[in-house]
Amino acid sequence: MKIKFSGSLVVASCLLLLLVATPGARTQDMTADLVVVNANVRTLDKARPQAEAVAVYGTRIAAVGTNAEIRQLAGARTRVIDAQGALVLPGFNDAHVHFIEGGGHLSSVQLRDAASPLEFAERIRQFAAKTPKGRWITGGDWDHERWPGAPLPTRELIDKFTPDHPVFVNRLDGHMSLANSVALKLAGVTRETKDPDGGLIVRDARTGEPTGVLKDAAMSFVYAKIPDPTFDEKLEAARAATEHAASLGVTSVQDMSAGNDVGVYQTMAARGELKTRVYAVSPLPQWERLARTGVRAVFGSDLLRVGGLKGFADGSLGSTTALFFDPYLDAPSTRGLPSDEMFPAGAMLKRVQAADAAGLQVMIHAIGDSANSQILSIYEEVIQTNGERDRRFRIEHAQHIRLADVARFARARVIASMQPYHAIDDGRWAEKRIGHERARTTYAFRSLLDAGVTLAFGTDWYVAPLNPMLGIYAATTRRTLDGKNPEGWIPGQKITVEEAVRAYTVGSAYAEFAEHAKGTLAPGQLADLVLLSQDIFHINPVEIERTKVRLTIMDGRVVYEAKQ
């Protein structure tokens, strides 16, 4: 077959390979399905870092090159997108989300920006007034650190507004929730109820009665009474989530709480409704369920894969349950709480060893410096016991680490799966909890990168906004949300825009064993692209948070286009 093409032979060869490899390929038609021209393409591919245009055939990138080269691949049926000089990047890959829960939270009571206990209560009153009697009120994402004096909410705040509704609304970090009296009664939580391992019932200092706030494992008392959403309700939430992700240029997510919801994603994929690639992660304590099937990391299709397992070592800084070596400054009676998965002693090590031996990928939530150190020790022992292989252990969050442990991340090749938005959120109040010295290696992006550690960026959505622009802004400026750190909180830990974008694309792809399919714009890679309203590489980083997505392409099709 003779090809009339004056540009790179690599471009033509790649298109030929795609035609051969694509089922049902149009062998009589060598034209691309879609091309983007007149673009400022940042490929993140070291072989060709920048280009003017991209051609897509089917679900793959056929070619990356100059306008002249790519236009030769367009035919009468090709969709031509004129980027008008806009920045084009690989689609963002959020390495840590709670996707279906996030979709559900889009329609639940919104408490994140409630500025006082009174506003918190009023929003719940209004939501309850339009909610059928007897239906649970959940979600919320409240943040008591916004309130004067940062008092924890109590059930008395909302009981009078919710006599006909059980309420269990969570703090934005998901490690602490407030139950009203109806919910506590249903759960059987009373003054006599003992704290579970890895959890805490907050009690009135005078009476000993539960205030309604439950932390970490103690939340399970109430969760056990909340009816599971139906399959159709989960589908509705997942549809909302995938639409939201597309509008933000997020073309892949790693769902840390997918658990038993893989069927939801399978159904959406079969119906052509899935606009987001999903790595569906299961709970680490359930590792045997996957292992018995013979599944190894990572198994599935380009749209949906399984094989990852997530565990918990501790709680969160905002709930004073992140586990530290030294006590909290503002709560000197505690160093935090180990997760219930850390009990009994040695259980986590045994679990990780077995899951790793089965070929599954292990990722563990660790926030406090002691929790991070303990998980690093477990990983180091498992590597020694099970032998070297490409296992890609991850620590999710890796928020507060000792300087000495930075090198341990590098030596054990542990991926730091981090969420930069948390830094500018927690930075408003973190030092009152842990002091300045411990904060110096908090969200230590710069130190970890300099040590050669792979960073995989995400958001922890619903805990934080899903928008990658906010994460890149946070990583490059570290300007806290209260405006009190215009030069950045712990500015020595800032990283460049290039490094932040790589962590959101290349790093996240590597963290899910997918670097050969996505994360860069190169021939043969999956056709996931995003067009942005600003060139974030050439503006003041403080302006990045205002950048919008103009267009998102996933799997070779336009899944979002901003209204003009």
CATH class of 231-557: alpha beta
Average pLDDT over residues 131-159: 94
- Chain segment 111-142, per-residue pLDDT in tens: 999 999 999 999 999 999 999 999 899 999 99
- CA end-to-end span of the chain: 43
- Residue for token pair 């009981």: 159
289 CA to centre of own chain: 24
| Among 268, 277, 166, residue whose Cα is nearest residue 224 | 166
- Chain segment 181-218, per-residue pLDDT in tens: 999 999 999 999 999 999 999 999 999 999 999 999 99
Average pLDDT over residues 274-297: 96
CB neighbours of 344 closer than 8 A, spacing ≥ 6? none
- Chain segment 329-365, per-residue pLDDT in tens: 999 999 999 999 999 999 999 999 999 999 999 999 9
Q: pTM, whole model, 2 decimals? A: 0.88
CATH 3.10.310.70 spans which residues of the chain?
113-171+175-223
Q: Which CATH architecture has domain 9-85?
A: Roll (2.30)
How many other CB atoms are found less than 10 A from the CB of residue 257? 17
CATH 3.20.20.140 spans which residues of the chain?
231-557
Residue 11, pLDDT > 60, answer no
- Chain segment 413-440, per-residue pLDDT in tens: 999 999 999 999 999 999 999 999 999 9
Q: Tokens in use for 497?
A: 């825009």
Residue 400, pLDDT > 60, answer yes
Give the side-chain half-sphere CA count within 13 A for 31.
12
Query: In angstroms, rounded to a whole number, what is the distance separating the alpha carbons of residues 355 and 307?
Result: 10
Q: Tokens in use for 172?
A: 């934005």
Residue 8, pLDDT > 90, answer no
The pLDDT value given to residue 564: 75
Query: In angstroms, rounded to a whole number, what is the distance separating the alpha carbons of residues 64 and 42?
Result: 10
- Length of the chain, in residues: 564
- Chain segment 68-98, per-residue pLDDT in tens: 999 999 999 999 999 999 999 999 999 999 9
The pLDDT value given to residue 14: 53
CA angle 379, 380, 381 (to 5 degrees): 90
Residue 26, pLDDT > 50, answer no
What is the percent of the chain where pLDDT is above 90?
91
Query: In angstroms, rounded to a whole number, what is the distance separating the alpha carbons of residues 370 and 314?
Result: 9
Spell out the alpha helix ranges (H) of 395-505.
Answer: 403-411, 421-426, 430-439, 445-450, 468-477, 497-504
| Among 388, 534, 462, residue whose Cα is nearest residue 142 | 462
CATH 2.30.40.10 spans which residues of the chain?
9-85
Q: Name 551's bridge partners.
A: 531, 561
Q: Is 134 left (phi over 0), alpha (psi -120 to 50) or beta?
A: left
Average pLDDT over residues 376-384: 98
Residue 9, pLDDT > 70, answer no
Q: Which CATH architecture has domain 113-171+175-223?
A: Roll (3.10)
Banded pLDDT at 15 (limits 50, 70, 90): low
Cβ–Cβ under 8 Å, residues 128 and 261: no
